[in-house]
Every structure is written in C-alpha cells, then in structure tokens.
A = this chain, B = another copy of it.
Amino acid sequence: MPKKLITFGEVMMRLSPPGYEKFSQASSFELVYGGGEANAAISCAYLGMKAAHVTRFPDNALGKAATQFLRKHWLSTEHVIYGDQMMGKYFLEKGAVHRSSEVIYEREGSAFSQIKPSMINWEEVLRDADWFHWTGITPAISEGAAQCCLEAIKTANKLGITVSGDINSRSNMWKYGRPMQEVIPSLTEYSDVVITSSRGIREMFGIGNDEDSFKSLSKQLIAANPHIKKVVKKTRRTLSASHHQIQGKIWNGKKYIKTDMLNITHIIDRVGTGDAFAAGLIYGLLHFDDEKAIDFAASACALKHTVPGDVNTVSLENVISLMQGNTSGAIVR
C-alpha cells in the first residue's frame, strides 16, 4: 500500500523561450506548470507514492488546463478549487555558463492569492494521508494563503500526519504586511521536518550567528521548537549556470549526516531541483533510515537537473541507482 502525500500551494503557468533564447528573441513559449509544493508531490508520485495537490485555479479554460497538467503527472486533483480569473505565472529565460537564468513573476492577484480560510475542508483532504508538505512560498503570497496553510498544518497535527516545511529566506517576496519572522515560525512550530539553510535559521528565527555551523544552528532550532525532529539542508555550489554541485545534510537530533558531493556537469534545467530534493527527502524518510534518506534526497535532486520543466519525472529505479553510486549514466536497453 503506497504512502500518501498531500501538498498545498500555488501552481503557476511557466512560459519559457525555446532553448537558450532570450526574452528579446522569443517568438513562442514552451508551456509547462510548476510550483514548489506540487513539484514535490509530482516527484513523489513518480517514485510510486500516492499524492494529491490542493490549490486554487481561475475558473476558466486555463485553470482547467493547469489541473490537467497535474493529473497527467499522476496527482489527484479532486481537492482543487476554482475561482476568480487570473492564473499565476512566471516567465523563465534559461541561462548558461556566466549568463544567469532570469525569472519574471506575475502572480499578484492570482486565483490562488485570493484563497481564504475554510475554503478547503482539510479534514477530508488529509484523511488517510501519511505526510503533509508545505513551503515558505505559500505564506508569503497572501494572508489568506498563510492562514490556509496553518489550517492544514494544524489539521495534520490533529490527525497524526507528519509535516514538513521547506523554507528559504526570501524577504522580498513578503509584500502583504506581515513579516516572515512572524509567520514562518508560527508554521514550523507544528512541523516535524524543516528544510532550510544557515541563513534561513538566522534570519527567520533570529537564532544563532554568522559563526555558527549548520549543525549548531539546527540544534538551537530544535531546542527552541521541540515539535521539529529533523533539520535538513541542501548545499549547492554554483560553479556556473551550467555546472552545479549538490550535497545533502541532515541533523536528526542525534546525528549529523552529510552526503557526498554530486557533480552536475551539464545542467538541462535547474528549476525545481530544490523541490526534487524535498520530495526525495519525504520519500526517503518514509522508506529508509536517515542516512539513506538524505542520500536519496541528494540523488533525486541531482537527477532533476537533467530533466526539462519544473517537475522531476525520474523513476524510483533511477534514483536508487544513483544513490548506490552509479554516476555513469550508461544507456538502459
């Protein structure tokens, strides 16, 4: 019986010029959809889990098409709700070597940002789920989104479902009035697993200082938030837009584990690699011990760099093979 994951968050239309064209050169856009939480859910679905995503789309043909994207990629969509008219979207210009990728968001006023508490029946949504996953983007979008997220987390707590939160410190996203330092801790307070960074812990929780290691910061975070069981970090070395290195780290309250550094020498699409890491972690913690789990997460993340689009469509076999050290990418016939 596969484990079941519920995620909640905005899914955006992603529009990108073909290949390496810049915005100034494009005469068409490639169309996929993405959003941190749905990306994680889809990753887990490809790994063999059951997964449902909860979101709000505009009540028109574009909202339907976005739903169809989620269905195609194996998600349950019966809890998607519809209203208003605007689809959140982002434009992505893919960079290479020294040239940065550029992202332009158009999500202000989107159908999702208009979501309000109690629009979602979380008791029903989370019934028979094993895991609920949220990210720090959702509470940054709007007061309503933050409140819905809190509703979901509290319901998960009530139903005994594990909760993970993937939070980065992006203060420029917080525009609706409340500071991230107030909102984020009110959500992690009820979360079991937190994926973040040293800077994230310092800035969002006011914990530790610049000299503290990630391990030390993690200990302090757990000390201050006893609900949190594990603190996880993905280290990314950005050698160029075409070449990254990835490493996973976890503090589980007892042990500090680091993976080998994975070397991604020819990046195809780096968007959503963090979500692939989160998905790998969720799958790993549900099926393996912590050491294997963090290896699995880093391997899933590394593979995502070679898959176009926001979502990681690799299979369980692919991830396990890389986790076991098979980095050669030899043809499978």
A22 within 8 A of B: yes
| Contact flags A113-143 to B (C-beta < 8 A → 1, else 0) | 0000000000000000000000000000000
A53-95: which residues lie under 8 A (CB-CB) from chain B? 60-62, 64-65, 68-69, 71-74, 85-87, 91, 93, 95
Contacts of A28 in B (CB 8 A): 28-31
Contacts of A151 in B (CB 8 A): none
Q: A21, A91, A242, A331 — which one has the most chain B CB atoms within 10 A of its CB?
A: A331
Count identical subunits in the complex.
Answer: 6
Partner of A240, one of B20, B64, B99, B265: B265
Cβ of A180 to closest chain B Cβ, rounded Å: 16
Known contacts A68-B73, A306-B98; is A108 also within 8 Å of B109 by CB? Answer: yes
A185 within 8 A of B: no
Cβ of A45 to closest chain B Cβ, rounded Å: 11
Cβ of A283 to closest chain B Cβ, rounded Å: 17
Interface size on A, residues (CB 8 A): 81
Contacts of A241 in B (CB 8 A): 306, 328-330
Contacts of A330 in B (CB 8 A): 100, 238, 241
A270 within 8 A of B: yes
Interface residues of A (CB under 8 A from B): 15, 19-32, 46, 60-62, 64-65, 68-69, 71-74, 85-87, 91, 93, 95-106, 108-109, 238-243, 262, 264-268, 270-271, 299, 302-303, 305-309, 313-314, 318, 321-322, 326-333
Can you add 13 more A-B contacts, CB < 8 Å, to A28-B28, A28-B30, A100-B318? A15-B15, A22-B61, A22-B313, A25-B313, A61-B104, A87-B106, A98-B302, A98-B303, A105-B333, A108-B109, A238-B329, A242-B329, A266-B266
